[in-house]
């Protein structure tokens, strides 16, 4: 297939391991942050105000794609929308610092009555949905990626992660009930993003990883929760990102009901391809390199990833906000010229 595809068709074909003219080069957004100071200044949409302003949020996502940046729109630009909507207290950060949760809501997973049901009409949940609606009116050839923070990561934010990990072990049934409520809320948000116009949903799980939980908990909690959510989402592209080393869970990853699987820079593409044959593999250009190295180095990293057979080129774990625009443009450019 040599005929030029649109960015949207290319992403959905690549995610399904169907023939493409060349791999897409994307960055989903959400936990996999795609925004940096260069582009905020260029677009005149600065953090932190942009996080609360649907128009600016859409404008910033649009500006990056227009600047020969990533081949998608993606919102939001942080991983705190869901936790805030369920009751956690968030510090909105600043120009260079992402919003982050500063106060957990619970002290044990038995306190499920404290969790607020996610309301689609208010706060930043509504902002994200409005931003997707606005982006839907922009270039229809560009895929819109909606984002969900992974269920274990949300659970480990509403309740301090180290307490949650203890309760996984000590009170697994209570932990499961707690996770079910979080999954239900995430399903509501995911469905609403699709209804607003998202062409793809990416769920990023920085905390519920095999490296942190170990293989048994990863399968019992992370994979079960992810699948519960993924099965409810009717959208053409489903992406899951799991942070950290994967050695202990390579054989569990194929059980995740997503199309594309994204992973960290510490995981070799060749290793993943050996174990995950059913899914498109996505990644894993070093976030650190993108933030700090020269464009020539970026070009060689991207070429290397393509040679190893990555299906979708993306930063390994989002971007640092001090990433130079030229590095992102180089990344896209190398993908385009193969």
CA distance 226 to 232: 10
Nearer to other proteins among residue 93 and residue 295 (C-beta): 93
CA distance 120 to 259: 26
Nearer to other proteins among residue 221 and residue 230 (C-beta): 221
Beta strands in the chain (DSSP E): 73-75, 89-91, 100-103, 144-149, 200-205, 237-242, 260-263, 280-285, 312-315
- The residue with tokens 């009170």 is 171
According to CB under 8 A, which one of 18, 44, 49, 102 is a site residue for other proteins?
A: 102
CB 62 within 8 A of CB 138: yes
CB 127 within 8 A of CB 82: no
CB 98 within 8 A of CB 51: no
Nearer to other proteins among residue 82 and residue 259 (C-beta): 82
According to CB under 8 A, which one of 21, 174, 211, 232 is a site residue for other proteins?
A: 211
CB atoms within 10 A of CB 315: 30
Stretch that binds other proteins, among 54-62, 100-108, 142-150, 299-307 (CB under 8 A): 100-108
According to CB under 8 A, which one of 3, 4, 19, 170 is a site residue for other proteins?
A: 170
Binding mask 111-140 toward other proteins (x if CB under 8 A, else -) reads ------------------------------
Question: Least CB distance from residue 261 to other proteins, whole Å?
Answer: 18
Question: Least CB distance from residue 28 to other proteins, whole Å?
Answer: 14
Stretch that binds other proteins, among 16-24, 186-194, 243-251, 276-284 (CB under 8 A): 243-251
Tokens matching residue 68: 């020969």
According to CB under 8 A, which one of 48, 87, 214, 295 is a site residue for other proteins?
A: 214
CB 41 within 8 A of CB 59: no
According to CB under 8 A, which one of 176, 227, 248, 308 is a site residue for other proteins?
A: 248
By the rule CB under 8 A, 146 interacts with other proteins: no
Question: Least CB distance from residue 210 to other proteins, whole Å?
Answer: 8
According to CB under 8 A, which one of 1, 97, 141, 338 is a site residue for other proteins?
A: 97
- The residue with tokens 């009751």 is 87
Phi-psi region of 88 (alpha: psi -120 to 50; beta: other; left: phi over 0): beta
CA distances from 10 to 36, 65, 143, 178 (A): 25, 15, 9, 38
Residues within window 292-311 making contact with other proteins, judged by CB under 8 A: 292
Binding residues for other proteins (CB under 8 A): 33, 91, 93, 96-98, 100-102, 157, 161-162, 165-166, 168-170, 206-207, 211-214, 217, 243-244, 247-248, 264, 287-288, 291-292, 317-322
């Amino acid at each position: 297939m040599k005929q030029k595809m649109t960015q949207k068709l290319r992403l959905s074909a690549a995610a399904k391991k169907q023939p493409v003219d060349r791999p897409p080069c994307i960055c989903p957004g959400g936990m996999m942050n795609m925004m940096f100071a260069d582009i905020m200044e260029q677009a005149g949409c600065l953090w932190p105000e942009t996080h609360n302003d649907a128009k600016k949020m859409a404008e910033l996502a649009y500006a990056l794609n227009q600047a020969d940046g990533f081949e998608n729109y993606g919102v939001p630009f942080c991983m705190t929308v869901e936790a805030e909507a369920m009751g956690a207290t968030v510090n909105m950060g600043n120009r260079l610092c992402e919003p982050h949760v500063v106060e957990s809501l619970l002290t044990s997973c038995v306190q499920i009555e404290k969790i607020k049901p996610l309301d689609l009409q208010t706060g930043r949940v509504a902002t994200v949905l409005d931003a997707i609606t606005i982006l839907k009116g922009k270039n229809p050839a560009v895929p819109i990626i909606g984002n969900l923070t992974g269920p274990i990561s949300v659970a480990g934010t509403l309740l301090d992660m180290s307490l949650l990990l203890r309760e996984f072990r000590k009170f697994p049934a209570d932990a499961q009930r707690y996770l079910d409520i979080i999954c239900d809320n995430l399903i509501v948000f995911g469905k609403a993003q699709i209804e607003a116009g998202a062409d793809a949903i990416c769920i990023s799980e920085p905390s519920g990883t095999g490296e942190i939980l170990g293989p048994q908990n990863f399968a019992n909690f992370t994979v079960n929760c992810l699948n519960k959510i993924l099965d409810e989402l009717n959208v053409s592209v489903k992406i899951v990102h799991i942070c950290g080393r994967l050695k202990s869970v390579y054989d569990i990853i194929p059980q995740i009901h997503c199309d594309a699987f994204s992973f960290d820079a510490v995981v070799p593409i060749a290793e993943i391809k050996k174990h995950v044959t059913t899914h498109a593999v996505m990644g894993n250009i070093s976030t650190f390199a993108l933030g700090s190295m020269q464009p020539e180095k970026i070009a060689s990293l991207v070429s290397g990833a393509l040679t190893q057979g990555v299906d979708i080129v993306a930063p390994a774990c989002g971007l640092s906000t001090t990433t130079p625009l030229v590095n992102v443009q180089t990344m896209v450019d190398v993908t385009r010229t193969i």
